[in-house]
Amino acid sequence: MAESLPPPPPANIESLSNSVQELSEKRYNEVPQRYIHKGGSSGGIICASAPLLDVPSIDLSLLISPSPAGVNELKKLQSALNYCGCFQATNHGMSNIYLDKLRQVSKEFFALPMEEKQKYGRTADDIEGYGTDSVLSEHQILDWTDRLYLNISPEDKKRLEFWPENPQNFRGVLEEYVMKLKNLNEFLLKAMARSLNLEENCFLQQYGESESASIVARFNFYPACPRPDLALGVKPHGDASAITFLLQDKEVEGLQVLKDDQWFRVPVVPYSILVNVGDQVEIMSNGILKSPVHRVVTNSEEERNTLAVFFIPGSEMEIGPVEKLINEENPRMYKTVKDYVSIYFQHYQLGKRPIDALKI
Ligand code: OGA
Ligand code: NI
């Protein structure tokens, strides 16, 4: 019946909307052109029913143990990161109640009225704050996501004006989470080095002092999307970080990882933290530990909330393959780079892999 059909979107809808949430609330059956992925071998049809990836689970409490179980877990870590670049961390020291609280503050923030969220709104020439991702090129395909992007470290890059005061415990809960992740980040950089039979500080030395390294939090909110076959929550990318910690939605799947040219779904494991290698650890490990190309698919039924925290080496640090990993059989794969993030975004928004620019 005519009355039940949604109104057609106005032609200029893309320029009117700076939030995907608002777009989705209008309940159109179509998505605007600028969100549509076309072409490619799959003909632009995004497949949400990809096979499930068997993401290894790693018990962090075992990684420092000299026992046979500990040695075995370290081997498992190395092979997981070589196989798919990520693992589900268990025994990470954070309680279920605490992780639920973290998810809750994120949900509450995105559920606030638009006017309230816009108090923390990103401005046109800035990355930080609430809103959609920056549009850097007219060819850029837009992502079906609103996000809150916050610099957490170094201290002088922290801009509290973007940190929500509502919900009232938002700032405290985030600070506490990042304090815990800082320890995990150091712990894992050491474990990764040991897993490759390297001196345990060699990745940490490249990563730099925690005062100069940067930590960024990205709260992702993916509204339900009328055309999951055409739009992506986040287009394919590898992370610019050394290590990324992703707290997935407890119920709704959406993340996919590319492996051997095929997309795989990453399962939801409610109280594990998904850890993935970023491009900078792939570079340091001369390509042995892989930064997985991943994307987020949408669905037409449910919204999805995730929190990604990126640990990024200080911009003055030289990042390059550790000498001990280079030999005749394994020649140097990457050039040494400083301030990788600055070359990253331009490539990324054009759908290219920034790390390829460093290949030898
Ligand atoms: C990211 C990312 C995945 C997700 O923010 O870089 O890949 O599932 N997020 O939200
Ligand atoms: Ni990512």
Closest by alpha carbon to 296, among 5, 9, 16, 20? 20
Q: Which residue lies with its CA nearest to atom 9 of ligand 1? A: 308
Whether 255 is in the pocket of ligand 1, judged by its Cβ within 6 Å, is: yes
Alpha carbon distance 37, 29 (integer Å) = 16
Q: Which residue, judged by its Cα, is nearest atom 6 of ligand 1?
A: 239
**Contact 23 CB / ligand 1 (< 6 Å):** no
Q: How far is the CA of 241 from the centre of ligand 2 (A)?
A: 9
274 lines ligand 1 (CB under 6 A): no
Could you identify the atom of ligand 1 that is nearest to the CA of residue 254?
8
Q: Whose CA is nearest to atom 8 of ligand 1?
A: 255
Cβ of residue 218 lying under 6 Å from some atom of ligand 1: yes
Helix (H, G, I), strand (E, B) or coil at 284: helix
CB burial readout 84-95, b (16+ within 10 A) else e: bbbbbbeebebe
pLDDT score of 349: 64
- pLDDT at position 8 is 45
Ligand 2 centre from 325 Cα, in Å?
Answer: 26
Please say whether the beta carbons of 94 and 104 come within 8 A.
no
86 lines ligand 1 (CB under 6 A): no
pLDDT at 27: 66
C-alpha of residue 294 to centroid of ligand 2, in Å:
6
Q: 128 by DSSP, 3-state: which?
A: coil
Q: Determine the Cα–Cα distance for residues 180 and 99; give it in Å rounded to an integer.
A: 12
Ligand 1 atom having least distance to the Cα of 248: 8
| pLDDT single digits (tens) 77-133 | 999 999 999 999 999 999 999 999 999 999 999 999 999 999 999 887 888 999 988
Note the pLDDT of residue 211. Answer: 83
pTM exceeding 0.85: yes
DSSP label of 294: E
CA 162: distance to chain centroid?
Answer: 20
Structure tokens at 167: 């919900």
Q: Which atom of ligand 1 is found nearest the CA of 222?
A: 10
Pocket test for ligand 1, best of 306, 307, 312 (most atoms within 8 A of CB): 306
Ligand sitting nearest the alpha carbon of 143: 1
Question: Which ligand number lies closest to the CA of residue 291?
Answer: 2
| Distance in Å, CA 226 to ligand 2 centroid | 23
Joined together, the tokens standing for residue 29 give 């059956």
Q: Is the CB of 308 under 6 A from ligand 1?
A: yes
Low-confidence residues of the chain: pLDDT under 70: 1-17, 27, 39-44, 346, 349-351
Q: Which atom of ligand 1 lies at the shortest distance from residue 308's CA? A: 5
With H, G, I as helix, E, B as strand and everything else as coil, classify residue 14: helix
Contact 118/132 with Cβ under 8 angstroms?
no
Q: Is 254 in the pocket of ligand 1 (CB under 6 A)?
A: yes
Does ligand 1 lie within 6 Å of residue 117's CB atom? no
Q: For 302-348, write each residue's pLDDT tens digit.
A: 999 999 999 999 999 999 999 999 999 999 999 999 999 988 876 77
CA of 146 to the centre of ligand 1 (A): 12
Query: What are the C-alpha distances in Å from 26 to residues 6, 9, 224, 304?
Result: 8, 9, 11, 18
Residue 17 has what pLDDT? 53
Altogether, the residues listed in the chain come to a count of 360
Q: What is the atom index within ligand 1 of the atom nearest the CA of 218?
A: 5
